[in-house]
Amino acid sequence: MFPIVSTTLFMPLLGALLVMGFRKAPAKLVHTIGIFTSGFTLIGAIIMWSRGINSTGFAQLEQLEWMPAIGAAYRVGVDGISLPLVLLSALLFFVTFIYSAKVRERPHAYVVLMLLLETAAIGTFTALDAILFYVFFEVSLVSMYFMIADWGHEDRQRAALMFFIYTLLGSLPLLLAILGMYLGSDPHTFDMRVWIENPPLTGTAAMLALIAMLFTFAVKTPVFPFHTWLPAAHVQAPAAGSVILAGVMLKFGTYGLIRFSLQMLPEAFREVGVVVLVFGIISALYGAFAALAQNDLKRLVAYTSVNHMGYIVIGVAIAALAIDPAIRATALDGSVLQMISHGLVTGALFFLVGMLQDRAKTREMDQFGGLLKLTPIFGWSFVLAAFASLGLPGLAHFPAEFQIFLATLQVEPFAIIVILGIVVTAGLYLKAISQIFLGEANTKWQGMPDLTMRELITLTPLLALIIIIGIAPAWVLDVIHKTTLNLHL
């Protein structure tokens, strides 16, 4: 069997080495290499998708000895939770490369870092060895730091530093937890499959490990009150960086929440499930209300991320609390699908904000007006993405959030107050749309060009998938459901 997972995983790294080899190559060639490499990676991810998954455990396993003396090995594979995320990452990186083909400031370094980031992202989702997971998890951090620090906006150095220190501080407790699980397993191993099969820790040790992990993933997701790095990083990051940060990297947090906290420490998670649930609720509501108060469009989108990621946390907490496996599966289906939807919708929104900023050099919403008439394609694209973001039925977020709320009602009915968040997001997006796109056209923006061909190519796959998943989510949900139904927690 051809090792398609490893090929997909290391394809971007190969491309990065290629770019490093051609240090004198013109910017155009460098970007072409980037686009082609990520295109091949996307094809690899599609082949992985076509090969499918098993109903229990992991599929498409590939292993290699690494440090057998301490039970660490190179192990990769996918299940219904990670496979959709791999596909999402590959797609987002591919369109990001198309969008960034205009970058002329140190294009070599830019493409190398982005490709490195792609390997780190796919590696995080496919790793089945805890050390390997941690390695990819941290490599992504370094690449993103340079991404923000080198190609960001005015105050980028500070934001990049804050991002780096915050998330590194956040990820170190995970290291402790991993060490604890390793020492608790018998025989000692870093094999995540073994940890999921036989949770190595119990009692107080399990609770301590869980608290450490929850801290890590709460920073990464981010969950209120650990979210403060997020708006700063997003505002300063270049548009492509924001897309990857929100679309792919935030998912590390929620993916880890399911893979590590829920699957490896189910007993402990059940005990603190309500606490996690409350954090999720606060996060979702806080994100919505904070977004409402923004005038900067990018900050607004950043805060809605906090809101949407909050729903995922709620879904996972409900899955931990649920006793009926069917309800648990519903909650997890919703959570995983929400990750995909959020990647597509927020990715599209950050691209659109970037396109607006490229044209107008400002993101203050009150500076605009009547853009729908001047730039109709841009305007309608934004309206579509914004409606998806507020959870309109028929668009990508609806089937995901619906399942989360359905499971919530059955397990912890009080938590349904979070539905208020949807009302608030609806309000804030309508306000944004009316300020930017409706009303009197501001003469200042007369002659603003509509979307270029490259921008259209960037957006089309995302917008199309938003509609497809909204109307017919079954092709993704079936894959997710196959795994979530058979989790023995």
Partner 1 sequence: MEKDLAFLMPEIAVLLTAVAALIAEMLRKPRIAFAASVAGLLIATGLTIPLLHVDVTVFSGTFRVDILSVWAKLILLPATVLAVLLVRAELGGSAREGTAYVLVLMVTLASLLMAGVGDTMLLILAVLLSGLGSFALVAYPRDDAATEAAMKFFVFASVTGGVMIFGLSYWFGITGSTLLNETTRLGNMPVVASIGLFAVIIGLGYKASLVPFHFWAPDAYEGAPVSIAAYLSVVPKIGAIFALAQVVRDLPSELNWSLVIALLAVLTMTYGYLAALVQNNVVRLLAYSSIAQAGYFLLGIVAIGASALAFQSIVVFAAAYAAMNLGAFALVMQNGRTLDAFTGKGRSHPVTSVAMVIFLLSLAGIPPLAGFVGKFLLFGASIDAGFTWLAIIAILNSVLSLAVYLRIIVAMYKKADTTETAETITIPLLSSLVWFIAAAFTLGIGLAAQLILKAFF
Using CB under 8 A as the binding criterion, the count of chain residues that bind partner 1 stands at 31
Q: Does position 64 bind partner 1 by CB under 8 A?
A: no
Q: Does position 17 bind partner 1 by CB under 8 A?
A: no
Q: Does position 67 bind partner 1 by CB under 8 A?
A: yes
Nearest to 317 by CA among 308, 328, 305: 328
Cβ of 176: how many Cβ atoms within 10 Å? 15
In the three-class reduction of DSSP (H, G, I as helix; E, B as strand; rest coil), residue 22 is classed as coil
Element (H, E) at 404: helix 397-411
Distance CA 190, CA 180 (A): 11
Distance CA 292, CA 92 (A): 27
Interacting span for partner 1 (CB under 8 A) from 142-150, 193-201, 341-349, 354-362: 142-150
Binding-site member from 25, 46, 61, 66 for partner 1 (CB under 8 A):
66
User: Which DSSP symbol is given to 449?
Assistant: -
Beta carbon of residue 268, minimum distance to partner 1 (angstroms, whole number): 17
Q: Does position 135 bind partner 1 by CB under 8 A?
A: yes
Nearest to 459 by CA among 342, 357, 346, 381: 381
Q: Which residues, in sequence order, are bridge partners of residue 78?
A: 59
Binding-site member from 93, 182, 215, 229 for partner 1 (CB under 8 A):
182
87-126 mask for partner 1 (x: CB under 8 A)?
Answer: ----------------------x-----------------
Interacting span for partner 1 (CB under 8 A) from 143-151, 237-245, 412-420, 432-440: 143-151
Identify which of residues 169 and 457 has a Cβ nearer to partner 1 in the complex. 169
Cβ of 410: how many Cβ atoms within 10 Å? 15
Instruction: Please count the helices (runs of H) and the strands (runs of E) in the chain.
Output: 21, 2
Q: Does position 43 bind partner 1 by CB under 8 A?
A: no
Q: Does position 173 bind partner 1 by CB under 8 A?
A: yes
Identify which of residues 15 and 173 has a Cβ nearer to partner 1 in the complex. 173
Q: Does position 163 bind partner 1 by CB under 8 A?
A: no
Q: Does position 62 bind partner 1 by CB under 8 A?
A: no
Q: Does position 165 bind partner 1 by CB under 8 A?
A: yes
Token digits of residue 430: 């309508």
In the three-class reduction of DSSP (H, G, I as helix; E, B as strand; rest coil), residue 79 is classed as coil
In the three-class reduction of DSSP (H, G, I as helix; E, B as strand; rest coil), residue 78 is classed as strand
Distance CA 47, CA 87 (A): 10
Binding site for partner 1 (CB under 8 A): 65-70, 109, 131, 134-135, 138-139, 141-142, 146, 149-150, 157, 161, 164-165, 168-169, 172-173, 175-176, 179-180, 182-183
